[in-house]
Structure 1
Amino acid sequence: MTTIRKASQKDAKALFGLIKALAKYEGQLQYLKTDLNQIIDSGFLHLQPPKFEAIVAENKGILIGYVTYMWNYSIWNGSTYMAIDDVFVCKQFRGNNIGLKLMQYAKDICTSNNIELIKWEVESTNEKAIRFYKKLGAEVNNKSIVKWYIT
């Protein structure tokens, strides 16, 4: 049985492992600059508010998926929204509605906080993810995302 819940500091190491798994899956491991200490410091220590929060999927005591997010403000909407950074489910657990349950939990957090918008990015070539997001009822626009790495 899979449990969906908010992550806590005890999840930091496993969460970081999933973040690395996502980077590897996307062929972007060389761009992953964070480390376990940064994950702990930014998400789980005494920062108020934390720089990010996470929702995890746990099966038999092992994390198998996650959503990371931050709170942001939209000038155009005049309101706070949830900005999702990553959505990931381990390959062997895909097709079992884990992603759906993670996203529903994110939606429930927003509803309980009177937040009306969740925003995130998706690669335009990731057709499977786009189909999944549309199935949720999300709108996918045609904007390109520009990344500028300042070194």
Structure 2
Amino acid sequence: MTGTPRVRHAERADLPRVAGLAALHAEYERAAPPAPGLADRLAALLFGTPAPRLRCLVAEAPGGEIVGYATCAPELSTWEGREYLHMDCLFLTPGHRGLGLGPLLMAAVVAEASELGLTEVQWQTPAWNEGAARFYDRLGARKKEKLRYSLAVAG
């Protein structure tokens, strides 16, 4: 392989691959797969308005193959009375973990927060994902123990 690993903003043409990675991510986290049409829904969130709400970064292995992604969006903290950057997803394919792409993705997410004038990034990971917890601990992140709930809203 030639080249060096890198992280960049996703482009429209990357979205089918990002949707495929999201399906692998869901499988890894023992969740239901994304509904069909994810690439189109992501395109609307990433490129559908002059100021898109969602940001997506892709990790490229040497040679240019997209092997991971991270998504993030600003959110509000009532207690703090300010915005923070919520990292919704960070995923690397199993064969590309431990090669330095995770720290590159995290650095890019932190740079997104800085670009937006935000001073904190928050995220969550399943409690059973010990590898991710060790990775985040090595970065100096602090754990916050909470339960995450989801309530479907009838359409």
What TM-score does the superposition give when structure 1 sets the normalisation length? 0.89
Alignment length, in residue pairs?
A: 149
Summarize the alignment of residues 1-150 of structure 1 with structure 2, pairs less than 5 Å apart: 1-30=4-33, 32-33=34-35, 35-45=38-48, 47-59=49-61, 60-150=63-153
1:150, distance to aligned residue in structure 2 (A): 3.7
* Pairwise CA RMSD: 1.6
1:149 and 1:126 mapped to 2: Cα distance? 25
Counting aligned pairs with the same residue, the percent is 26
1:55, distance to aligned residue in structure 2 (A): 0.9
Which of structure 1's runs of 4+ aligned residues deviate more than 6 A? none
What TM-score does the superposition give when structure 2 sets the normalisation length? 0.87
What per-residue deviation string (whole Å, max 9, x for no partner) do you get for residues 54-84 of structure 1? 1111122221111101111222222221111
Deviates more, 1:139-148 or 1:108-117: 108-117
What per-residue deviation string (whole Å, max 9, x for no partner) do you get for residues 105-132 of structure 1? 1112222333111111111121211111
